[in-house]
Amino acid sequence: MEDSAPILEVESVVKSFDGVRAVSRCSLSVRGRTITGLIGPNGAGKTTLFNLITGFLKPTSGHILFQDERIDGLPPHRIFHRGIVRTFQIPRELKTMTVLENLMLVPPNQVGEQIWNPLLFGFRVSRQERLIYEKALEVLEFVDLVHLRDEYAANLSGGQKKLLELARTLMTDPAMILLDEPGAGVNRVLMRKLVDNIETLCRELGITFFVIEHDMDLITRLCNTVIVMSQGEFLAEGSPEEIKQDERVLDAYLGGQYR
């Protein structure tokens, strides 16, 4: 597993907003079938990097390669179809749609999304809807939200919305999942279950995880590799233990508290 080839490569990517460089000549790579952490102090450019990878922002310069193909500049829905899905740091649930609908939206290639199919060929839609419905229930079972399936997503608690974000990524068969602070606001017991689930998904389905997280305990427990960003640049990479010992990282981020 340690030797697997990079699935995602970020090559000297720059993103500036009106002259402020949020990401500055950042190069890093994430190996396939790993759970890789992304840490760094506030304003290090972690979420901006996620937005660049998933197409919500276009790099000012530089390339992003996913499975050896360039994806920088593609719109978000195209990147989704390449196999990268993401969650948002602040949950963006579909508020006045039910939890179930939030999930049933996601699966790609739904025949019912072409207007003529529901109007004229209901039977085609029907079969697929059953599969998607069953898949959604399965995923809801997985994240412990099945009892809330008919609730409006807006009525969920903060932690439940985080889980709904994660559930959304599981409604498809991605090659890579980007999680933006999945742990914040989720209680410990549930978090332990999530860690188990993420490990299972990585091990059994070969899904690569790239996780922004501030909780070093969680990072240590979850990640094979940790990448550190600081001031928009790549700073260090290594196992959680190595990172904890790394002088540069300690200076930039941990402020010496782990010394």
Partner 1 sequence: MKPDRLITPLAFAAVTAAIIIMPAERSRDFDSVISFLVTFGTSVAIFSLLVLGLNVQWGYTGIFNFGVMAFFLVGAFTAAIITKGPAETEFVQYVGGFGEDLNLIPFLDSDQWLPFLVGILGAAVFCGVLAFLVSIPALRLREDYLAIVTIGIAELLRRVAIEESGLVNGTRGLPGIPRPLGDLVAPGDYKFVIFGIAVVILILVFIAVERGIRSPWGRVLRAVREDEMTTAASGKNVFAFKAQGFVLGAVVMGIGGAIFSYQRGAISPENFNHFFGTFIFWAMLIVGGSGNNKGAILGAYVVWGFWRITILLQAYDLPVFLETRIFFIRDFAIGALIVGFLLLRPKGLLPEVRRVSIWVDRLRRSMPAEAESADPHAPAG
Q: What residue ranges bind partner 1 (CB under 8 A)?
A: 54-56, 75-77, 80-81, 85-86, 88, 92-98, 100-101, 104-106, 108, 110-115, 117-119, 122, 125-126, 129-130, 133, 150, 152, 168, 172
Minimum distance, C-beta of residue 186 to partner 1, in the bound complex (Å)? 19
* Contact (Cβ atoms closer than 8 angstroms) between residue 38 and residue 227: yes
The helix/strand count (H/E) of the chain reads as: 10, 10
| CA dihedral (14, 17, 19, 23) positive or negative | negative
Nearer to partner 1 by Cβ, of 7 and 79: the residue is 79
Residue 214 CA to its chain's centroid (Å): 15
Beta bridge partners of 11: 63
Using the minimum distance from each CB to partner 1, give the nearer residue, 94 or 254: 94
Q: How far apart are CA 13 and CA 45, in angstroms?
A: 11
Nearer to partner 1, 1 or 90 (CB): 90
**Residue 158 CB-half CA count within 13 A:** 9
Smallest separation (angstroms) from partner 1 to the CB of 144: 18
Q: Closest distance between partner 1 and the C-beta of residue 32, in Å? A: 21
**Minimum CB–partner distance for residue 116 and partner 1 (Å):** 9
Considering the complex, what minimum distance in angstroms separates the CB of residue 149 from partner 1? 9
Q: Which is nearer to partner 1, 161 or 252 (CB)?
A: 161
CB 48, CB 56: distance < 8 Å: no
* Nearer of residues 36 and 54 to partner 1, judged by Cβ: 54
CA distance 180 to 213: 7
